[in-house]
Each structure stands twice: as structure tokens, then as C-alpha cells.
């Protein structure tokens, strides 16, 4: 029970962490987009509306509405502004456009108007506003590169979308664990299939009857239920035996879990692009679809279905989606509605061709579980006839390799893409067990190698495939992609993604990861690489999770060599010499891994960075004796001129107009001359370049204290100014100095002297402040008294401060005079006490100054008063 509470609190904490990460990203995005006014307009509604709306979708209840409303209002406001320019002012459109800054114009504000160009409704008050940007402008617009800001916004949108989809996946996963749903599913299951729950070592083959039964029972429709929560929607789908692809996939996961199988709900997160330009291009082709479609292109949305029912023909219908994906499956939609028929009629020729291609793709690439029992049986039999070793779930090894994406010439639409499926852990597979792709919607098993091709055919890039279990998640993209090098650049910063997934991975691993006994030892090299937490070098214990990590890593490391040269430009594993930068070299070269267009291919890990001697010095490294440069570059004209000029001055003849570069393997730790006899070794400029601690000569210390050099000079200690870098000022680079470098033995002396000096300066400062305060009090009181005297003398009482001075009568003036005099006296006494150290005495005895002890010096106007204790003070007489 306690463990359960702990677990819950941990889950809660993880959720909070994730929520925190998400919220940070959203807030950053909102902050970024708010002040953006016009420049964001060119992102048109795709950012302001689609992305804005998306923010509210998967958020916590409170945040949900707030963010959604905020973003929608913002988007609406933007639209209203733009509409207002046309609607209200009519012909003033051009004026408004002129009023926009050039940058606004270039940023593409016109783009928003352009959308209306084809709109017959753009006629206002009988006046048609022609908005046809010139070809030149259009060309300029398309040529406009995304600015850094655009990129940052795109990245933020990408991240937020990713988090939303992640949150959605968790919701679905949680619903799959619902005991009532699972019990209901079991109640529907024929008795013969119930036996599966007793199978301790399930295999892919053993799941066939179950998948077959499931795909017979449940149908995909375009209609989403009106249920508020996903759990209710799932219950509704179970009852009706039809639902959205997401619901049906979730039901399959619930069924697997009900049968004690370890199963994940897997989702292909089709996130908005990380790069702004891609979407811009997309937006042109998808303009027609955009109207009723957010970034959540799938009709299964994160908010109440009633609000987002995909009724527009422009929307990708699940009907066509179903057909797109399943034509080859012979799964007929028995509940086709008249609406679906309409949509069928609306299909373009391209769509039909597209569907045919999809059908061909699937029939050619995936194993089909036919509804026909006979065929199913035949399939099973054919599987069972495989030798045990070769019995694979993916029994289709047809020539149409998954590395050859399906032609996408027809239909530039991202519909029909496989988006939801399940993964079941089959411990009877592959000796140690493995995760098996199960697409119960289409009755497919082990089709992981085909998902990429199917997605590519539907113009969906396979960037994030995430498996959900135990309210956690794990990125399993590598299982489904064959060319990681193409996918990786389209994904968000790996560190950020790992950070987001870390707590979820833990939850997922806890839910799915049982310890398993390996029948063989893990290879030591691989073992180290994978950093297996639960495995031991000579033990055979690992977890499913770590084994899966190994499997995914192996997939990535064993990617085939790309066949075109461009692919090597940023390939994480391989490299062509021609794509090396000026400061790169392949070392050690070794035999090439292969060839591409005749050029040798090397490992990316063999690429070394080269630097000049001076650059290495900054890192505390120096080139070994007798090492020849690994690469010699020719200087540019300007560099050569500067160098030649310097050489003339120095009368050196060894200038060769080259830059010598060295690699890491040619270096050793920097050996600077040691400080001796209290003298700091300095460079030719009489200073020490302190790029890092490593650059300090041995026996010296860097004291970063302001104006400490003054003390060093005063104490006659040898020092060198510490140069810590450069800054650009007034068009030239200027060295930045911070503190000094002195011999270590002087460190304490200097620090003590510095502390003393600081104290002395502080005391001086304090004294100065006190004197200043005193002087100001004196001036203030003097002015009051003088004013009062004048007032008394000239009697009108209406000098320049009638509001106050009028009310002062002679008695008051005398009082003020007496008080101010006392105050001045008191301050002087205190000061005297402080100076003479008689503060303690003053506390015990209050001085009394009798008139008979007073004496007045007419010359200095000083009145000397004396107490009977002998204490005397001098007061300036007013």
C-alpha cells in the first residue's frame, strides 16, 4: 500500500516535472509570439491559429482554457485587424499596406491578403479589392529566408506540439488500463482465445487468431463520439464496435493487457515541422485543407469531439483514410454511411490512384490477415511450417524493400498514414523475446519494416514514434525507420527530447520491463557501449528495456551506406572527404567502409578537428616537439598582406603565406616556464593570457580583484596584467583585462593588503559621508534660521513660504533657533565622543554647559562651552 502511495507520488512528481517543462516551453512561445505583431503575420494563421489553438488542447484543465482562449483571442485579434483593414476601410487597403514598414511587407503581411485573392467574397460594398502581388514580389517572398526568429518560433511550436501529442498518448494509455474496459473486452472474447492469457511465452504466431478476431469485431469509422473523456469515448467505441483509429488501436491495447500480455499503445506523432520553410511550402499545397484543419490533422482531437467533428469535405476523412490504408486488406466497412458515399464521390482521380498505390504497397509489403478463416489458417500453417529458427512474425520478405519508399507522385495528401498501433512483448520470440508490431486495425502483425514506407506514401514523415505504457512513454522511432540520418535532422534537439522523456521512460520501463535471463553472455564491447544498468559483465540478467535499447541502437549503427553524396554531408555515422570542412581531417584514415560514386566512405568518428598552435594554447595544450602540421592552408589575400606587412616590420624572412593546423593527437599538456624569484613569466606583450586556468604559468595565481595592481605596485610585487579575452569596441577588437597574475607566494600578502585597503577605503567613505551629511544639516538649519531672522527683522511674515512661515510667530522662531542650535551641538558632541573614544562616558553622564563657563571668540565666531566634568565643545554662533 505504501509502495503504491510512493509510486503514485513519484508519478505525480514526474507529471509535475513534465508539466513544468511543457509550461516553460508554452510560456516561452507565448512570450515570443506576443510582441511579434507584424512579423508573425507572415506565419499567417498557421501559427496564430493552428498552433495557438493547439496549446490549449492537451493542457491541464486550468491552463487549457486559459491558454486556448488566450491564443485564440490573439489569433482572432490578428485576423480582425487584417479583416478590419478591408471591411471597414474598403479602399484604404493600399494605404494601410503602405503604412506598413518595408520589413512588414517583406515579411509577407500581404500573404494574408493573398489568401483572399481567390475568395469571391473579397468584394466589399460593391468594390472589388484586387490584391495581386507582382511576380517580382512573389518571387522575393518565396526567396525570403527564414530568420533566426522564425526558426526559433518554429522550434517552439514544434516542441509544444510534441508535448501535446505526448500528453495525448498518455491519456490514451491510461484509458487502456481501465479494468472495466478490459473486463468488457474479455467478456466478448470467445473461450478459445481466452487461453492466450495462460500462455507464458506468447509468440507472434499465437497472436494471429486474436488479431483476426479483433479486426473482425471492430471497425474504423470517421465518426467520433461526443464523449467528453477519452475513456468514455473508448467505452462508447467498445459498445458500438466502431470508432476512430485511435480508439480502435487503444481497444486492441486494452485487450492485450486484459490477456496479461505486455502491450504498448504506439503513436506516430506527426508533429508540425521544426523548420519554418517546410510548412510554408506545405501551406501552399495544403491551403485548401487548412481552413478546417489544425496541426492535429487527425480527426481524433484532444478536445470534445463535438466541437471538432470533421464534417468538412476538405478534411481528410477517415473513410478515405481507411480506404487508403486498407484497400488491400479486404476489410470492408460494413457500416458505410451515405456521408461516406458522398465523400467517395468527391474523390479526385488523383485520390483514387493514390489509394490504388497504397493498396499495392500494402499488399506487396505486409502480411495480410484475411478475414477469411481459411486464409488465416493457411497463413498460420505456412508459418508453422517454417523451421523454428526462422519463424518470424514478419513473414513477408518480399523484394519490395522498405528502403524503397513508395512513389508519392500521386496525391500530395498526408492522409491514410498509419498513426496508431500496438506493440506486444512476445517473450517466446527471438530466444529472449522481442517487441512485436501489432496493427489490429488492419490486422497486421510484425509490419514494423513497412510503417515507414506507408507513412512516406502518405507524405507523413516518420520522426517520432512513441510507445506508451504505465502512463510513461518511450521513443521507439528507430524500430520503424530505416534511415535514421534522414530522420534525425528533422527532430528536435536530442538533449531536450531526452530530458522530456527521461521521467516517462522510467514509468514505461517499470510497467513493461521484467528481468529476463539471457541464454548467452552479452558481448563486452556492446555491453560497455550500451551501459546496461541491470546487466553484469558475466551475469545474464538484463531488462527488457535495456535489451530493447541495445536493439534500437544496433539498428542505428548498422544503417546501410547512403547511395548519394549529399546524404553524407551531415550523416551521423559516415563521411565523405569532400564534405569535410577546412578545419577537419580524417584520422586515422584506415580502409574505407565503402564507396559512393567512387569516393571512399569513412566513419564519422574518425573525423578530427584541427586548430592552429595559438588556438590549442588557449585550451592549455601545445604541439609536441617535431610534429609536422596535419594540414596546411593557404592564407587569404588579406591575411597574407597583413602578415607580409608584419614580417617586413620584423624583418623576418620565414613567411610562407600558410596556416599550419594540428590535430589533437599531436598535442601534449601546455608546459609554461615556471615562475621563479617572484618574477611572473610574461608574453611578448608583458602580460599573461588567461584563457583558462591551464594557461597560468606554474607557481602563479590569477587575482581577479579590481585595481589590485595598484597594491602590487605599491608593495613592489612583480605582476602581469591578466588578459581574459577580447571584445569588439569602436569597430575594433580590444583586449579585456581582469585582475593580475602574481607569484603564488604573494597571494596572501596581496589579499591581506587588499582587505586592509578595502577596509580603509570603506572607513574613509563612511567618514566622507558623515561629513557630507553634517554639512547638509548645517546648511539646512542655517537657511531656516536665516530665513526666520529675516522674517523677524522685516516683519511682514510673508516671505517666500507663506504656507508655512506665516504661521510661525516669534516664539516658534526662537524655539526653532534654540532646537537647531542644540541639534548642531549634539551632533558635534557625538562626533567628538566618537573621536575621543568617550562614548561610554557620555552614556553615563549628560553634559551641562553653564553660561558662566562659556567664552566667545569674535574673530572666528566660535562659542566655547564647557561642562563641569571638563568636557568642552566649540559651537559656531549664528
Partner DNA sequence: ATGCTTGAGGAGTCTTTGGTTAAC
Partner DNA sequence: AGTTAACCTTTGACTCCTCAAGCA
Backbone angles phi, psi at 243, to 5 degrees: 180, -170
**Least distance from C-beta 800 to DNA, angstroms?**
34
- The 8-class DSSP code of residue 711 comes to H
147 binds DNA (CB under 7 A): yes
Site string for DNA, 499-528 (x = CB under 7 A): ------------------------------
Burial class (CB in 10 A: 0-12, 13-18, 19+), 197: middle
Closest CA to 226 of 243, 209, 210, 251: 243
**Least distance from C-beta 282 to DNA, angstroms?**
12
**Least distance from C-beta 44 to DNA, angstroms?**
17
If the CB atoms of residues 38 and 565 are measured against DNA, the closer one turns out to be: 565
Torsion of CA 13, 17, 22, 25, to 10 degrees: 160
Binding residues for DNA, how many (CB under 7 A)? 45
639 binds DNA (CB under 7 A): yes
734 binds DNA (CB under 7 A): yes
Closest CA to 211 of 376, 99, 86: 376
Q: Measured between alpha carbons, how far is 559 from 553 in angstroms, rounded to an integer?
A: 10
Please choose, out of 305-313, 319-327, 380-388, 729-737, the segment that lies near DNA by the rule CB under 7 A: 729-737
Q: Do residues 160 and 26 lie in contact, with contact meaning Cβ atoms separated by under 8 Å?
A: yes
761 binds DNA (CB under 7 A): no
538 binds DNA (CB under 7 A): no
Task: Please enumerate in sequence order all residues whose Cβ is within 8 A of that of 132, keeping only pairs 6 or more positions apart, or say none.
Answer: 117
Interface positions, 273-332, toward DNA (CB under 7 A): 275, 277
Please choose, out of 29-37, 214-222, 725-733, 814-822, the segment that lies near DNA by the rule CB under 7 A: 725-733
Interface positions, 583-612, toward DNA (CB under 7 A): 583-584, 597
Task: Please enumerate in sequence order all residues whose Cβ is within 8 A of that of 659, keeping only pairs 6 or more positions apart, or say none.
Answer: 612, 632, 633, 634, 635, 639
CA of 463: how far to CAs of 102, 139, 457, 478, in Å? Answer: 37, 31, 15, 9
If the CB atoms of residues 625 and 732 are measured against DNA, the closer one turns out to be: 732
Cell numbers for 846: 549628560
If the CB atoms of residues 373 and 409 are measured against DNA, the closer one turns out to be: 409
Among 37, 292, 594, 735, binds DNA (CB under 7 A): 735
Site string for DNA, 685-704 (x = CB under 7 A): x-x-x---------------
If the CB atoms of residues 183 and 710 are measured against DNA, the closer one turns out to be: 710
Q: Do residues 785 and 816 lie in contact, with contact meaning Cβ atoms separated by under 8 Å?
A: yes
Q: Do residues 697 and 688 lie in contact, with contact meaning Cβ atoms separated by under 8 Å?
A: yes
Please choose, out of 637-645, 757-765, 812-820, 824-832, the segment that lies near DNA by the rule CB under 7 A: 637-645
If the CB atoms of residues 583 and 878 are measured against DNA, the closer one turns out to be: 583
User: Where are the alpha helices (H) located in 313-436, listed in sequence order?
Assistant: 318-326, 338-346, 349-365, 373-384
Among 32, 116, 615, 682, binds DNA (CB under 7 A): 615
Q: Do residues 244 and 300 lie in contact, with contact meaning Cβ atoms separated by under 8 Å?
A: yes
Among 79, 140, 151, 682, binds DNA (CB under 7 A): 151
Cell 493547439: give the residue.
54
563 binds DNA (CB under 7 A): yes
349 binds DNA (CB under 7 A): no
3-state secondary structure of 127: strand
Q: Do residues 104 and 38 lie in contact, with contact meaning Cβ atoms separated by under 8 Å?
A: yes
Closest CA to 849 of 828, 825, 832: 825
**Least distance from C-beta 720 to DNA, angstroms?**
12
Please choose, out of 87-95, 130-138, 576-584, 860-868, the segment that lies near DNA by the rule CB under 7 A: 576-584
Per-residue 3-state assignment (H helix, E strand, C coil) for 736-780:
EEEEEEEEHHHHHHHHHHHHHHHHHHHHHHHHHHHHHHHHHHHHH
Please choose, out of 37-45, 109-117, 321-329, 732-740, the segment that lies near DNA by the rule CB under 7 A: 732-740
If the CB atoms of residues 570 and 692 are measured against DNA, the closer one turns out to be: 570
**Least distance from C-beta 689 to DNA, angstroms?**
5
3-state secondary structure of 729: strand
Q: Measured between alpha carbons, how far is 123 from 128 in angstroms, rounded to an integer?
A: 4
- The 8-class DSSP code of residue 262 comes to -
558 binds DNA (CB under 7 A): no
Closest CA to 656 of 636, 635, 642: 635
If the CB atoms of residues 299 and 562 are measured against DNA, the closer one turns out to be: 562
Please choose, out of 137-145, 221-229, 355-363, 427-435, the segment that lies near DNA by the rule CB under 7 A: 137-145
Among 581, 626, 654, 677, binds DNA (CB under 7 A): 581
Among 103, 312, 733, 855, binds DNA (CB under 7 A): 733
Please choose, out of 158-166, 436-444, 447-455, 731-739, the segment that lies near DNA by the rule CB under 7 A: 731-739
Among 386, 595, 665, 726, binds DNA (CB under 7 A): 726
If the CB atoms of residues 266 and 661 are measured against DNA, the closer one turns out to be: 661
If the CB atoms of residues 710 and 755 are measured against DNA, the closer one turns out to be: 710
Interface positions, 380-419, toward DNA (CB under 7 A): 405, 407-409
If the CB atoms of residues 411 and 443 are measured against DNA, the closer one turns out to be: 411
**Least distance from C-beta 631 to DNA, angstroms?**
12
Q: Measured between alpha carbons, how far is 82 from 103 in angstroms, rounded to an integer?
A: 17
Q: Do residues 392 and 386 lie in contact, with contact meaning Cβ atoms separated by under 8 Å?
A: yes
268's enclosing H/E stretch is strand 263-269
**Least distance from C-beta 139 to DNA, angstroms?**
8
3-state secondary structure of 250: helix
Can you name the residues that pair with 729 across neighbouring β-strands? 732
- The 8-class DSSP code of residue 643 comes to H
If the CB atoms of residues 151 and 330 are measured against DNA, the closer one turns out to be: 151
**Least distance from C-beta 143 to DNA, angstroms?**
6
Q: Measured between alpha carbons, how far is 469 from 266 in angstroms, rounded to an integer?
A: 9
637 binds DNA (CB under 7 A): yes
Closest CA to 853 of 843, 864, 842: 864
**Which residues of the shown chain bind DNA in the complex (CB under 7 A)?**
142-143, 145-148, 151, 275, 277, 405, 407-409, 563-567, 569-570, 581-584, 597, 615, 633, 636-639, 685, 687, 689, 710, 723, 726, 728-735
Amino acid at each position: 500500500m505504501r509502495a503504491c502511495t510512493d509510486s503514485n507520488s513519484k508519478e505525480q512528481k514526474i507529471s509535475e516535472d513534465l508539466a513544468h517543462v511543457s509550461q516553460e516551453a508554452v510560456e516561452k512561445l507565448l512570450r515570443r509570439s506576443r510582441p511579434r505583431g507584424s512579423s508573425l503575420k507572415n506565419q499567417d494563421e498557421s501559427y496564430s491559429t493552428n498552433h495557438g489553438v493547439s496549446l490549449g488542447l492537451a493542457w491541464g484543465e486550468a491552463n487549457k482554457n486559459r491558454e486556448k482562449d488566450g491564443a485564440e483571442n490573439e489569433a482572432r485579434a490578428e485576423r480582425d485587424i487584417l479583416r478590419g483593414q478591408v471591411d471597414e476601410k474598403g479602399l484604404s487597403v493600399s494605404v494601410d499596406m503602405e503604412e506598413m514598414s518595408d520589413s512588414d511587407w517583406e515579411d509577407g503581411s500581404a500573404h494574408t491578403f493573398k489568401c483572399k485573392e481567390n475568395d469571391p467574397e473579397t468584394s466589399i460594398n460593391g468594390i472589388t479589392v484586387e490584391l495581386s502581388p507582382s511576380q517580382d514580389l512573389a518571387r522575393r517572398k518565396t526567396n525570403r529566408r527564414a530568420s533566426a526568429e522564425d526558426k526559433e518560433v518554429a522550434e517552439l511550436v514544434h516542441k509544444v506540439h510534441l508535448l501535446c501529442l505526448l500528453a495525448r498518448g498518455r491519456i490514451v494509455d491510461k484509458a487502456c488500463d481501465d479494468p472495466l474496459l478490459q473486463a468488457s473486452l474479455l467478456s466478448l472474447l470467445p473461450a478459445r482465445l481466452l487461453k492466450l492469457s495462460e500462455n507464458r511465452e506468447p509468440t507472434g504466431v499465437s497472436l494471429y487468431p486474436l488479431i483476426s478476431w479483433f479486426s473482425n469485431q471492430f471497425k474504423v469509422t470517421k465518426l467520433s463520439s461526443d464523449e467528453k473523456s477519452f475513456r468514455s469515448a473508448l467505452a462508447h467505441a467498445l459498445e458500438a464496435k466502431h470508432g476512430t483509429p485511435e480508439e480502435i488501436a487503444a481497444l486492441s491495447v486494452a485487450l492485450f493487457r486484459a490477456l496479461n500480455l505486455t502491450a504498448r499503445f504506439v503513436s506516430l506523432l506527426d508533429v508540425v515541422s521544426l523548420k519554418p520553410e517546410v510548412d510554408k511550402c506545405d501551406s501552399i499545397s495544403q491551403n485548401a485543407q487548412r481552413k478546417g484543419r489544425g496541426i492535429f490533422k487527425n480527426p481524433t482531437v484532444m478536445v470534445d469531439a463535438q466541437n471538432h467533428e470533421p464534417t468538412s469535405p476538405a478534411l481528410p476523412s477517415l473513410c478515405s483514410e481507411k480506404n487508403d490504408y486498407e484497400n488491400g486488406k479486404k476489410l470492408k466497412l460494413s457500416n458505410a454511411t451515405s456521408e461516406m458515399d458522398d465523400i467517395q464521390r468527391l474523390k479526385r482521380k488523383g485520390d483514387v490512384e493514390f489509394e490504388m498505390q497504397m493498396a499495392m504497397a500494402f499488399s506487396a509489403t505486409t502480411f495480410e490477415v484475411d478475414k477469411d478463416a481459411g486464409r488465416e489458417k493457411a497463413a498460420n500453417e505456412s508459418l508453422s511450417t517454417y523451421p523454428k529458427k526462422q519463424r518470424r512474425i514478419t513473414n513477408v520478405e518480399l523484394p519490395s524493400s522498405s528502403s524503397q519508399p513508395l512513389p508519392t507522385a500521386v496525391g500530395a495528401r498526408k492522409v491514410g498514414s498509419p498513426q496508431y498501433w500496438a506493440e506486444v512483448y512476445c517473450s517466446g520470440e527471438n530466444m529472449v523475446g522481442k517487441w512485436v508490431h501489432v496493427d489490429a486495425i488492419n490486422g497486421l502483425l510484425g509490419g514494423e519494416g513497412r510503417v515507414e514506407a506507408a507513412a512516406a506514401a502518405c507524405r507523413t514523415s516518420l520522426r517520432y514514434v512513441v510507445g506508451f505504457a504505465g502512463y510513461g512513454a518511450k521513443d521507439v522511432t528507430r524500430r520503424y525507420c530505416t534511415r535514421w540520418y534522414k530522420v534525425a535532422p528533422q527532430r528536435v534537439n536530442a538533449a531536450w527530447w531526452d530530458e522530456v522523456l527521461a521521467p516517462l521512460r522510467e514509468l514505461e520501463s517499470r510497467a513493461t520491463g521484467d528481468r529476463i535471463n539471457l541464454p548467452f553472455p552479452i558481448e563486452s564491447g556492446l555491453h560497455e557501449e550500451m551501459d546496461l544498468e541491470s546487466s553484469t559483465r558475466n551475469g545474464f540478467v538484463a531488462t527488457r528495456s535495456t535489451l530493447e535499447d541495445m536493439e534500437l541502437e544496433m539498428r542505428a549503427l548498422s544503417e546501410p551506406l547512403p547511395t548519394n553524396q549529399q546524404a553524407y554531408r551531415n550523416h551521423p555515422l559516415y563521411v565523405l572527404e569532400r564534405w569535410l570542412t577546412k578545419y577537419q581531417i580524417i584520422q586515422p584514415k584506415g580502409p574505407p567502409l565503402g564507396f559512393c560514386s567512387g569516393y571512399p566512405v569513412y566513419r564519422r568518428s574518425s573525423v578530427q578537428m584541427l586548430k592552429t598552435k595559438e588556438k590549442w594554447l588557449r585550451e592549455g595544450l601545445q604541439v609536441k616537439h617535431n610534429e609536422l602540421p596535419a594540414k596546411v592552408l593557404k592564407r587569404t589575400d588579406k591575411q597574407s598582406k597583413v602578415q607580409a606587412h608584419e614580417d617586413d616590420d620584423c624583418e623576418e624572412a620565414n613567411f610562407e603565406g600558410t596556416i599550419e593546423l594540428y590535430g589533437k593527437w599531436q598535442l601534449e599538456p601546455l608546459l609554461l616556464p615556471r615562475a621563479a624569484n617572484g618574477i611572473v613569466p610574461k608574453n611578448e606583450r608583458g602580460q599573461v593570457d588567461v584563457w583558462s586556468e591551464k594557461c597560468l604559468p606554474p607557481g602563479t595565481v590569477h587575482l581577479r580583484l579590481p585595481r589590485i595592481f595598484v597594491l602590487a605596485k605599491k608593495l613592489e610585487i612583480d605582476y602581469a596584467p591578466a588578459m581574459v579575452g577580447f571584445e569588439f569596441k569602436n569597430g575594433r577588437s580590444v583586449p579585456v583585462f581582469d585582475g593580475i597574475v602574481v607569484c603564488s607566494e604573494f597571494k596572501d600578502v596581496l589579499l591581506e593588503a587588499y582587505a586592509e585597503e578595502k577596509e580603509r577605503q570603506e572607513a574613509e567613505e563612511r567618514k566622507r559621508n558623515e561629513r557630507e551629511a553634517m554639512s547638509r544639516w548645517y546648511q539646512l538649519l542655517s537657511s531656516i534660521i536665516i530665513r526666520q531672522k529675516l522674517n523677524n527683522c522685516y516683519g511682514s511674515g510673508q516671505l517666500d513660504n507663506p504656507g508655512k512661515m506665516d504661521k510661525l510667530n516669534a516664539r516658534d522662531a526662537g524655539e526653532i533657533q534654540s532646537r537647531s542650535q542644540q541639534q548642531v551641538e549634539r551632533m558635534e558632541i557625538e562626533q567628538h565622543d566618537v573621536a575621543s573614544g568617550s562614548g561610554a562616558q557620555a552614556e553615563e553622564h549628560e553634559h551641562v554647559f553653564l553660561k558662566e563657563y562659556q567664552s566667545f571668540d569674535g574673530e572666528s565666531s566660535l562659542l566655547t562651552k564647557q561642562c563641569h566634568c571638563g568636557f568642552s565643545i566649540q559651537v559656531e554662533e549664528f
